Amino acid sequence: MRFSRPASLAAWLAAGISVAEAQAQFLVDQLSFGYTGRINDKGQQSVPLFSIQGEPDVPEILSNKIILTQPSPGNARGAVWGDNSNKYKEWVADVDFRVNGPERGGGNLNIWLARRGVQDIGTASIYTVGRFDGLALVIDRSGGGAGMVRGFLNDGTTDYSSHHSVDSLAFGHCDYSYRNLGRPSQIKLRQTQDNFKVEVDGTLCFESSNIQIPPGYSFGLTAASAENPDSFEIFKFVVMTEDLNKQHEEPTQQQMNQQGQQQNTWSNPGGHGYEKNMPVDDNGWEQDIADATAASIISSEAQFADLHNRLQSVNHHLSTIFRKVASQDSIGEKRHEETSTSINELKQLLEKLNKIDALQSHIVSLEREIKTIKQETGNKVRDSENAIKKMLGSSHGDMLLHVAEKTQPTHGKLIFVIIGSQIVLVLAYIWYERKKTLPKKYL
């Protein structure tokens, strides 16, 4: 996996790294993409050695960039997680990204170095993630400004999704206006043996000498857009180290427990100093001092030493008990909060059920009212039908009588006509006969 010096120089020049850094740093290709200017040299819709996730759609992979969230629709999520974990204690991570969006667009970009990132984080942002173990670097418009870069740490005990003020958990920040610049922005994370540093476009953002991320954690990028969405584009993600052969195995759970026990032996909340390398058993408790007979203590110094050791052992046990009790109190408080949350959710569900019962009673009353209205409507329709029939019957009978009275002929007229016509005929006949009997006159 080691590159020759000319090959590594070409890779760093392509990645935008200075020549001085190229001579001291080597590319970790199993943790990087986009360092050749292309995301996938084969033109496939995938990123080698990285897993892609998204909601509602999977991020779009172009030849030279990954679009984690599209310009539309809003409320989208995208994530890129490395399949391999980082096995180096000293490293440099370089991210080139660009954010475009409308005037009031919103969203955030999260750079992760976390254990179980795919399982515990997935596509979540710093505001929606639960308990995670690792580092998160967030770029967003927190507080309504032009932009800010902030760093967050968690050891797996803090649930960020239910925390009342996530912004207050940041251990470092700097202002950075990152939206609609028209060019890619560069974020560089540098972990050395004594220092952790974050640079933005070549300028120091913040640093800390108290942060050391152990090997075995995975790199990841997640982005979340708001209802008025921003588009988050990733051009490259490059991880470098000074010595490719200087890998460290991921610590096992037993080693992590031993480290935690060793850390506990160096600090005492009560203010009493602990001796170094005190023997402990498998459960993390300091081993009991072996019993000694009184005859074996022959001097006052031995008696004082034995008394001192036993008092110190008792003090250690009491301190351990106090720590255990304190941790149990915190666990009890968390469980109490979880129980309270569950009870509140149950109460809300019960209230919804009560609303359903009330709705059901309203539906029953509506059914009754509808049946009553139906019966009343039927009765009124029948009454109206009978009234119309009666009215039409009476009106039709009167009309027939009126028509019969107006249209039937009168007998007096008929008799007058017959008699009159007979008289006219008789008169005409008489006139004819008289005219025929009159003497004729001749000229």
Contact indicator for 109, 247 with CB cutoff of 8 Å: no
CA distances from 331 to 257, 327, 337 (A): 18, 6, 10
Exposure letters 272-288 (e unless 16+ CB within 10 A, then b): eebeeeeebeeeeebee
Q: pLDDT value at position 353?
A: 78
What is the pTM for the complete model shown?
A: 0.55
pLDDT at 67: 94
Which residues, in sequence order, are CB contacts of 128 under 8 Å at separation 6+? 160, 161, 224
Amino acid letter, 408:
Q
- Please state the φ and ψ torsions of residue 416, each to the nearest 5 degrees: -60, -40
| H-run or E-run covering 99 | strand 91-100
d(CA 261, CA 280): 9
CB 172 within 8 A of CB 142: no
User: Distance between CA atoms of 361 and 340, rounded to whole angstroms?
Assistant: 31
DSSP character at residue 202: T
Determine the Cα–Cα distance for residues 302 and 296; give it in Å rounded to an integer: 9
Chain centroid to CA 416: 110
Residues forming a β-bridge with 141 = none
The neighbouring-strand residues paired with 67 are 60, 233
**Contact present, 1 and 84 (Cβ < 8 Å):** no
The per-residue pLDDT for 311 is: 84
pLDDT at 274: 35
Q: Enumerate helices (H) and strands (E) in the chain, giving the number of each.
A: 6, 15
| Residues linked to residue 309 through DSSP beta bridges, in sequence order | none
pLDDT of residue 11: 44
What the block records as the tokens of 11 is 């890779």
| Rounded alpha-carbon distances, angstroms, from residue 26 to 17, 92, 418 | 11, 10, 142
Give the CATH fold of the 26-241 domain: Jelly Rolls (2.60.120)
pLDDT 10s digit of each residue in the chain, 443 long? 333 333 343 344 344 444 444 445 789 989 999 998 888 777 677 898 999 999 888 999 998 999 999 988 888 999 999 999 999 999 999 999 999 998 888 899 999 999 988 999 999 999 999 999 999 999 998 877 889 999 999 998 889 988 888 988 999 999 999 999 999 999 999 999 889 999 999 999 999 998 888 899 999 999 999 888 999 999 999 999 988 888 876 655 555 554 444 433 333 333 333 333 455 555 555 566 666 666 666 677 777 777 877 887 787 778 778 777 766 766 777 777 778 888 888 888 887 777 787 888 889 889 999 999 999 998 999 888 888 888 887 776 777 777 666 666 567 777 888 898 889 998 988 888 888 776 665 55
Measure CA 191 to chain center. Answer: 31
Residues 6+ apart with CB under 8 A from 105: 179, 225, 226, 228, 229, 230
Q: Identify whether the C-beta of residue 82 lies closer than 8 Å to the C-beta of residue 187.
A: no
